[in-house]
């Protein structure tokens, strides 16, 4: 249950820390707060949490640094990155550091809560019947739902939780065009509206990791959505 999850909020803005702590506690979460990345790492190392909310810009070790350290340690705790930067390259930097999702400041509390719920759902253990399922393949692309590993040919591709879930949705519906609303609902549990660039950023980053000079796999159907349909 998400209501029993422990969330660590790391932000050097005390007002944001305090407001998020109150809001998340009202939702039933166990909340811990710290003002910087050094203390965030100390908390995670002393007692693991279920989810991290990290501000990108913090003194000393920033949110990107915390994410890189944890991922280097093979810690797969879901990370939601908060950023005041709205440009795509800045958001991609968070994903590149190992974040699973990002949210631009200022944000609506309901959107943050929806993203936390989605991250916790995806981090939950798989049902036994799903755990027995074998790898999924489309062309030279192979995805193993049990180990959450992906290969393009002989090359293994490292993906974040959100990237993996997005690719799994596409590969399970290979050849079918999924519209934006369907993808948002299935991956984030929340439709962020037509102006959101969230999905486009993840698709772009997923393409960059998967294709690496090879033929394209994810096709854009303008005005509709996306489909996994290898060319050639």
pLDDT at residue 2, as a whole number: 44
Q: Are 114 and 137 in contact (CB under 8 A)?
A: no
Q: Within 47-143, where are the H helices?
A: 63-72, 88-97, 109-123, 128-131
pLDDT at residue 24, as a whole number: 96
pLDDT at residue 54, as a whole number: 96
* Structure letter (DSSP) for residue 87: S
Cα–Cα distance for residue pair 195/197, rounded to 1 Å: 6
Cα–Cα distance for residue pair 224/203, rounded to 1 Å: 14
Which portions of the chain are predicted below pLDDT 50? 1-3
Beta-bridged to residue 141, according to DSSP, are 138, 152
Question: What burial letters (b/e) apply to 204-215, b meaning 16+ CB within 10 Å?
Answer: ebbeebbeeeee
Cα–Cα distance for residue pair 21/93, rounded to 1 Å: 26
Query: How far does Cα 9 stand from its chain's mean position?
Result: 16
Q: What would the pLDDT profile of 4-26 be if each residue is shown by its tens digit?
A: 899 999 999 999 999 999 999 99
Cα–Cα distance for residue pair 204/223, rounded to 1 Å: 16
Segment holding 186, helix H or strand E: helix 180-187
pLDDT at residue 1, as a whole number: 42
Go through the domains of the chain in sequence order and give each one's CATH number. 2-123 (3.40.50.2300), 128-228 (1.10.10.10)
Cα–Cα distance for residue pair 165/161, rounded to 1 Å: 6
pTM metric for this prediction: 0.70
**Which of these, 232, 76, 95, lies nearest to 166 by C-alpha position?**
95
């Amino acid at each position: 249950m998400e209501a029993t999850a422990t969330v660590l909020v790391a932000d050097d803005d005390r007002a944001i820390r305090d407001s998020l702590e109150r809001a998340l506690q009202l939702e039933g979460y166990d909340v811990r707060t710290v003002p910087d990345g050094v203390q965030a790492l100390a908390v995670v190392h002393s007692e693991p949490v279920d989810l991290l909310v990290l501000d990108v810009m913090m003194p000393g070790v920033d949110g990107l640094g915390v994410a890189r350290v944890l991922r280097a340690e093979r810690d797969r705790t879901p990370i939601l990155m908060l950023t005041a930067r709205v440009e795509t390259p800045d958001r991609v930097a968070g994903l590149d550091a190992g974040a699973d999702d990002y949210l631009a400041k200022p944000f609506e509390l309901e959107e943050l809560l929806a993203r936390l719920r989605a991250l916790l759902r995806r981090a939950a253990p798989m049902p036994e019947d799903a755990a027995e399922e074998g790898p999924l393949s489309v062309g030279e692309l192979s995805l193993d739902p049990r180990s959450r590993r992906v290969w393009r040919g002989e090359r293994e591709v490292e993906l974040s939780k959100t990237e993996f879930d997005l690719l799994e949705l596409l590969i399970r519906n290979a050849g079918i065009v999924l519209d934006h609303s369907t993808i948002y609902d299935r991956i984030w549990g929340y439709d962020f509206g037509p102006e959101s660039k969230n999905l486009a950023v993840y698709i772009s980053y997923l393409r960059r990791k998967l294709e690496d000079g090879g033929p394209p796999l994810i096709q854009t159907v303008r005005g509709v959505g996306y489909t996994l349909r290898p060319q050639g």
